Amino acid sequence: MDENTDAAPPVVAPAPEQTPVVEGLGDDQALTELHPNYKSALRLQAILTSIPFIVGAFVLEGQAILPTASIMIPVVLIALAFIIRLPSRRFHARGYAMSTDRLRVARGILFRHDTVVPFGRVQHIDVNQGPIDRFFGIATLTLHTAGSHNASVHLPGLGEPLARDMREEIRSHIKREAL
Amino acid sequence: MSGEVATHSAEDTQPQRTAPIGLLITAITSLRQGVIPIAIGAYTFRDNLVGMGGVIALLLVVFGVSVGIAYLSWLRRTYTTGTEDIRVESGIISRAARSVPYERIQDVSLEQKLLPRLFGLVEVKFETGAGGADDLKLAYLTEDQGEALRRLIRARREEEAASAAQVAGEAAVPEVEDEEADTIFAMDTQRLTTFGLFEFSLAVFAVLGGLMQYADTFIGIELWDVDLWQGWIESQSGLLSSFGFVAQIAGVVAGVVALIMIGSVTGLVRTFLRDWGFVLEKTARGFRRRRGLFTKTDVVMPTHRVQALVLGTGWLRYRFGWHGLKFVSLAQDAGSSSHVVAPFAQLEEIEPIIRAAKFEPPSDDLDWRHASRKYRFDSTAIEGGIFAFVAVVLATLIGTGIIGEGFAYAAFLPLIPLSLSIFFTGANLYAWQFHRHALSGSQIFGRKGLISPATRVASRVKLHSVEIVQGPIAQRRGYATLHLGLAGGAFSIPGLPIKRARELKSAILHSIASRDFSQLS
């Protein structure tokens, strides 16, 4: 299996996508969109989350306590909203901008969070992949800082090679700054 | 071992697995967890051989599976010591890859618990500024591997330290010369007494209450039994009323005086115990604080670790010009002790301390700005509105006779939330002008509080991240909260006009990015 290739270090992977480094301060420039597969991953997550509720609704429906379909219809409608509408809204609300010395991460529909971490403050870097992420070939990049607020800033939904590239880029910057 | 000689050779840049004997420890640990279920199972089925066999089989399966998982995760966990960083990759189904640059590793600690020790294994921990749970751990390596890794990282660190020392060479010399300690703040008995009086506290009654409840169970008298006290008061009231009106007033006054006395004495005692012989010195290494009557504490706070200052006060002492100064220090130190450097001082005494910490004290010359007026309106409307809503609901319920039947003063009940609503509305509107912030060339200031203002001062380069957060209302009304990533503390400024928030963000980010973390300390 691919066990060995996975465990091997990511030797300068021939990246299909280049790290979109934007010159300048990166505070106001346009955000880069996440990997399109991220929307599918969010959708799959929503489906998995809504399954127990739908099953529960079925069971309640079977008890025939309330008039027919009075539980089923709202539950299914809400689940559909969560599966169809929300992932794409969340996807469009998220984005990042990587500039020469900092990473900006934006997220949130109701509560907008716009976070900037200068590379010079990064303590260590994680690239994480859950099972769903691996299926869709995406990964989460996490930057850890020493601050109490925003101790770790997560950027999900990057293409896996891109996440690794970005890690290299940020790490090399730490080295450059320190010397 | 020859291991440390080979550390720089190419083989170390290959991914390595942790020590295979570590698997044995995992197996033993899971076996140990199985002991209790085995015992319970054996006891339950002591007369039933089939049941006993089932329990044992189940345990074997569980054990086998956990060993299997441990083996797989061992197989999939590798670490690589590269030229610039150390990385660990792990996970069977989920994959996690962590990269820690050598520059950021503060220390490498080797930890041996009893079981790993028997097998000559160590757990290696790499401490970074992020601190605590997020640190990188490797379990288990052989002692030699661990030691080699530690040496490798120390060597890499020293290479950098050497190159850094060349740059900072001139700056380092004068610091060494200046060895003597200057006392920059001390509190004498008179100051402590004043401080103690302001620390007025009725906490002693809470303690007494707790003790009495405790005593209850032993003495057998129901101290909380209303009837007991009522009976006692009734039996005494004849005596009391015979003293007449003046005597009753005198009694009340005496009670209040006693309360004040007890509160003041409590405050004095606590203050004397904690802050006796308070001395703050400035030494070459940083600040040194000694205090305490019975438990003496001696804390050294390196100047470069001071991230921010908090200048606080109390509602009453503020009227007399007394303030307290606290340092916010790096995250690792936060748990150990509070970093109060001047608990009770006049502003002109605090100012030299602030300057000694290489900070600028807040002054009126700064460009102080207020929060957005829309934020003032919204937060006032929300706070006042909640109570007004409660008042309306209560009034409706009482008016329609749903609740409050037979309660003579029911009509006045809605007045309580209504007056609270008016109070909060007024307080919010008035307090707004005291909430302000300012940005100077090297620092950011935030001030909060109406009756006991607290000012936070953070050094711009020592911040770690900047975040702008907007809730649903804030998005429509065009204001935002600015959160600054401060090591060991929190710093946020609410209700900034979005334009100002962006200005502050880009200014602060510019300062942060100008200097790397490793140059801060």
Which has more confidence, B515 or A161?
A: A161
Best mutation site among A4, A122, A143, A164 for testing chain B: the one with the most B CBs within 10 Å?
Answer: A122
**Please, which pLDDT band fits residue A161 given cuts at 50, 70 and 90?**
very high
From B493's Cα to the closest Cα of chain A, the distance in A is: 13
Q: Which helix (H) or strand (E) covers residue B454, if one does?
A: strand B454-459
How many residues comprise chain B? 521
Q: Which of A25, A111, A121 is the closest to B471 by Cβ?
A: A111
Q: Which of A9, A126, A145 is the closest to B464 by Cβ?
A: A145
What tokens does B106 get? 């503060």
Distance from C-alpha of A140 to C-alpha of B321, rounded to nearest angstrom: 52
Given a contact cutoff of 8 angstroms between Cβ atoms, the answer to whether B5 and B151 are in contact is no
Residue A178, pLDDT score: 44
* Neighbouring C-alpha atoms within 13 Å toward the C-beta of B305: 16
Q: Is the peptide bond before B71 cis (omega within 30 degrees of 0)?
A: no
Residue A12, pLDDT score: 37
B255 in reach of chain A (CB within 8 A): no
Highest mean pLDDT among A18-22, A46-50, B487-491: A46-50
From B130's Cα to the closest Cα of chain A, the distance in A is: 4
Contacts of A68 (CB under 8 A, 6+ apart): A61
Least confident span in B228-232, B330-334, B499-503: B330-334
Q: Please work out, in degrees rounded to the nearest 5, the angle formed at the alpha carbon of residue B351 by the alpha carbons of B350 and B353.
A: 70
Give chain A positions within 8 Å (CB) of B95.
6, 127-129, 134, 139
Q: Which of A133, A150, A172 is the closest to B485 by Cβ?
A: A150
Distance from C-alpha of A65 to C-alpha of A44, rounded to nearest angstrom: 31
Q: Span A112-141, mean pLDDT?
A: 92
Residue B220, pLDDT score: 53
Q: What are phi and psi of A10, to 5 degrees?
A: -75, 85
Distance from C-alpha of B91 to C-alpha of A140, rounded to nearest angstrom: 14
* B234-253 per-position pLDDT tens digit: 666 565 556 667 777 888 89
Measured CA to CA in angstroms, residue A39 lies from A34, A161, B180, B241 at distances of: 9, 18, 63, 81
* Neighbouring C-alpha atoms within 13 Å toward the C-beta of A116: 29
Question: DSSP class of residue A108?
Answer: -
Pairwise CB contact (< 8 Å): A130 & B94: yes
Give chain A positions within 8 Å (CB) of B471.
110-111
B78 in reach of chain A (CB within 8 A): yes
How many residues comprise chain A? 179
Give DSSP secondary structure letters for B117-139. HHTTEEEEEEEETT-GGGSEEEE
Pairwise CB contact (< 8 Å): A131 & B97: no
The question of ipTM being above 0.90 is answered as no
Q: Which of B80, B104, B483 is the closest to A149 by Cβ?
A: B483
Given a contact cutoff of 8 angstroms between Cβ atoms, the answer to whether B130 and A146 are in contact is yes
From A27's Cα to the closest Cα of chain B, the distance in A is: 7
Give chain A positions within 8 Å (CB) of B510.
25
Measured CA to CA in angstroms, residue A25 lies from A166, B447, B513 at distances of: 17, 29, 10
Distance from C-alpha of A40 to C-alpha of A84, rounded to nearest angstrom: 10
Residue B240, pLDDT score: 57
Given a contact cutoff of 8 angstroms between Cβ atoms, the answer to whether B175 and B343 are in contact is no
Distance from C-alpha of B407 to C-alpha of B422, rounded to nearest angstrom: 25
Helices (H), B445-521: 472-477, 498-514
Give chain A positions within 8 Å (CB) of B505.
27, 116
Q: Would the pLDDT of B24 be above 50?
A: yes
Q: In chain A, what percentage of residues exceed pLDDT 70?
A: 81
> What ranges make up the beta strands (E) of B245-394?
279-282, 287-291, 297-301, 306-312, 322-329, 340-346, 369-370
Best mutation site among B71, B73, B466, B492 for testing chain A: the one with the most A CBs within 10 Å?
Answer: B466
What tokens does B345 get? 């001082």
What tokens does B98 get? 């962590």
Compare all CA atoms of chain B with the CA of A113 and give the residue at the minimum distance.
Answer: B469
Q: Would the pLDDT of B358 be above 50?
A: yes
Distance from C-alpha of B79 to C-alpha of B126, rounded to nearest angstrom: 13
Q: Give the SS3 label for residue A5.
A: helix
Compare all CA atoms of chain B with the CA of A7 and give the residue at the minimum distance.
Answer: B76
Q: Would the pLDDT of A10 be above 60?
A: no
Q: Would the pLDDT of B176 be above 60?
A: no
Residue B336, pLDDT score: 47
Residue B415, pLDDT score: 86
Best mutation site among B516, B518, B520, B521 for testing chain A: the one with the most A CBs within 10 Å?
Answer: B516
Q: In chain B, what percentage of residues exceed pLDDT 70?
A: 83
B 11-50 residues inside an 8 A Cβ radius of A: 13, 15
Pairwise CB contact (< 8 Å): B84 & A147: no
Q: Please tell me the CATH code under which domain B302-370+435-519 is placed.
A: 2.30.29
Q: Which of A7, A116, A119 is the closest to B78 by Cβ?
A: A7
Q: Which residues of B425-435 are buried (b: 16+ CB within 10 A; e: fewer)?
A: beebeebbeeb
B391-394 CB contacts, 8 Å cutoff, 24+ apart: B391/B415, B391/B416, B391/B417, B391/B418, B391/B421
Q: Would the pLDDT of A53 be above 80?
A: yes
Compare all CA atoms of chain A with the CA of B461 and give the residue at the minimum distance.
Answer: A121
Pairwise CB contact (< 8 Å): A128 & B96: yes
Mean pLDDT of chain B: 80
Give chain A positions within 8 Å (CB) of B331.
146, 148
Q: Give the SS3 label for residue B460.
A: helix
Q: Would the pLDDT of B424 be above 70?
A: yes
Give chain A positions within 8 Å (CB) of B517.
120-123, 146
> What ranges make up the beta strands (E) of A85-147?
95-99, 102-107, 112-118, 122-129, 138-145
Measured CA to CA in angstroms, residue A86 lies from A45, A79, A101, B160 at distances of: 11, 10, 32, 49
* Alpha-carbon torsion, ordered B384, B386, B390, B393, to 10 deg: 110
From A148's Cα to the closest Cα of chain B, the distance in A is: 5
Give chain B positions within 8 Å (CB) of A121.
463-465, 485, 512, 517
Torsion sign over Cα B263, B265, B268, B273:
negative
Q: Which of B98, B470, B486 is the closest to A112 by Cβ?
A: B470
B283 in reach of chain A (CB within 8 A): no
Least confident span in B62-66, B87-91, B258-262: B62-66
**Please, which pLDDT band fits residue B131 given cuts at 50, 70 and 90?**
low
Q: Which residues of A81-92 are buried (b: 16+ CB within 10 A; e: fewer)?
A: ebbeeebeebbe
Q: Where are the domains of chain A?
A: 19-34+95-178, 39-89
From A59's Cα to the closest Cα of chain B, the distance in A is: 32
Q: Would the pLDDT of A6 be above 50?
A: no
CA A145 to chain centre: 19
B 467-486 residues inside an 8 A Cβ radius of A: 467-472, 475, 483-486
Q: Span A75-91, mean pLDDT?
A: 91
- Taking one residue from A and the other from B, the number of pairs with CB-CB distance under 8 angstroms is 199
* B182-237 per-position pLDDT tens digit: 888 999 999 999 999 888 887 777 777 777 766 665 555 555 555 666 666 666 65
Residue B219, pLDDT score: 55
Give chain B positions within 8 Å (CB) of A113.
467-469
Least confident span in B7-11, B196-200, B293-297: B7-11
Give chain B positions within 8 Å (CB) of A164.
97
Give chain B positions within 8 Å (CB) of A118.
465, 509, 512-513
B489 DSSP β-pair partners = B486
Least confident span in A157-171, B216-230, B396-410, B415-429: B216-230
Mean pLDDT of chain A: 81
* B55-87 per-position pLDDT tens digit: 788 888 888 888 888 888 888 888 888 888 888
Residue A67, pLDDT score: 77
Q: Please work out, in degrees rounded to the nearest 5, the angle formed at the alpha carbon of residue B473 by the alpha carbons of B467 and B476.
A: 90
Nearest to B467 by CA among B489, B442, B494, B441: B494
Helices (H), B199-345: 203-219, 226-242, 245-275, 331-334
Neighbours of B259 (CB within 10 A): 12
Q: Would the pLDDT of A179 be above 70?
A: no
Residue B236, pLDDT score: 60
B332 in reach of chain A (CB within 8 A): no
Q: Span B473-479, mean pLDDT?
A: 92
Compare all CA atoms of chain B with the CA of A173 and give the residue at the minimum distance.
Answer: B516
Q: In chain B, what percentage of residues exceed pLDDT 90?
A: 15
Q: Span A62-71, mean pLDDT?
A: 77
Pairwise CB contact (< 8 Å): A9 & B82: yes
Q: Please tell me the CATH code under which domain A19-34+95-178 is placed.
A: 2.30.29
Residue B235, pLDDT score: 63
Given a contact cutoff of 8 angstroms between Cβ atoms, the answer to whether B479 and A72 are in contact is no
> With 0-12 CB in 10 A as exposed, 13-18 as middle and 19+ as buried, what is B23?
middle
Given a contact cutoff of 8 angstroms between Cβ atoms, the answer to whether A102 and A142 are in contact is no
Contacts of B192 (CB under 8 A, 6+ apart): B271, B272, B275, B276, B278
Q: Span B271-278, mean pLDDT?
A: 89
Q: Where are the domains of chain B?
A: 2-160, 180-301, 302-370+435-519, 373-432
Give chain A positions within 8 Å (CB) of B470.
111-112
